[in-house]
Amino acid sequence: MPTVLKRIRADLHIHTCLSPCADLLMSPKAIVQASAQKDLKVIAVCDHNSAENTWAAVKAGRKTGVLVIPGMEITSREEVHILGWFPAVEAALEVQAKVYGALPGQNDPERFGMQIVADEKDNITDFSQRLLIGATTLSLEDIVRVIHRAEGLAVAAHIDREGFGIITQLGFIPPDLKLDALEISWNFSVAKARETFPEYESFPFVCSSDAHELEAIGRGVTELETNEISFEGLKAALSK
């Protein structure tokens, strides 16, 4: 008998209170609890240019039964947002070190917002001083390369959107850029994306919330066909 694969609900682009533009209630613990309530089995925590809250989210996820993929939303020097999804927190932190080395500037909390590092029990452990909302000096190619070197998956974020989407910034997706998937916004369907971007039909499309507040979690969902709730399962579902 052929194996019937389960459909697993995943929201693979969620910000925490570390992103200056995110709501302060977006603690790692609160995100995981909201995700469990919305029947999400897999989420990815992707803050702007940082992975400092991924440990807390992974630990909170283990207690709640939600698999948290450690991620990051990296801004390239072309002002394009690229998501990195990683097999482990260590891999995300390895890439974070490269990103921090290429991220100039200091945050101004009054102008951009606070950048809270928290643990899995909702204790505040630090405030990041870096200008996380800024652009790195890394090119798109550099970013995809460092993500892949850490065994991660590189995904062009919200390609349908004007701000920081690869198509509006460059006019097209460079054919030699080795992206693993393209993300579309929650208010844009995969069917519409296939119709709008026929030239990119060979890529898997994912849909995520890009949530900056708790209510937005799960408004965009990707159904992964896999029996394995793991990073490997995600990778396998994307390569199909």
**Which positions touch Zn ion (CB under 5 A)?**
73, 81, 157, 164, 210
Closest residue to Zn ion in the complex (CB): 81
CB of 31 to Zn ion, least distance (A): 13
Residue closer to Zn ion by CB (options 222, 226) is 222
Find, among 228, 92, 83, 102, the residue nearest to 151 by Cα. Answer: 92
CB of 158 to Zn ion, least distance (A): 6
Residue closer to Zn ion by CB (options 187, 227) is 187
Tell me the two tokens of residue 147: 């993500």
Residue closer to Zn ion by CB (options 26, 233) is 26
Residue closer to Zn ion by CB (options 164, 203) is 164
CB of 145 to Zn ion, least distance (A): 20
Sign, CA dihedral 224-226-230-235, equals: negative
CB of 160 to Zn ion, least distance (A): 12
Residue 13 belongs to what H/E stretch?
strand 7-14
Residue 145 belongs to what H/E stretch?
helix 140-149
Find, among 18, 28, 80, 25, the residue nearest to 50 by Cα. Answer: 18
Q: Three-state secondary structure along 97-144? A: HHHHCCCCCECCHHHHCCCEEECCCCCEEEECCECCCCCCCCCHHHHH
Q: CA-CA distance, 140 to 39, in Å (whole number)?
A: 34
CB of 133 to Zn ion, least distance (A): 11
Which region holds residue 213: left if phi is over 0, alpha if psi is between -120 and 50, else beta? Answer: beta
Residue closer to Zn ion by CB (options 81, 98) is 81
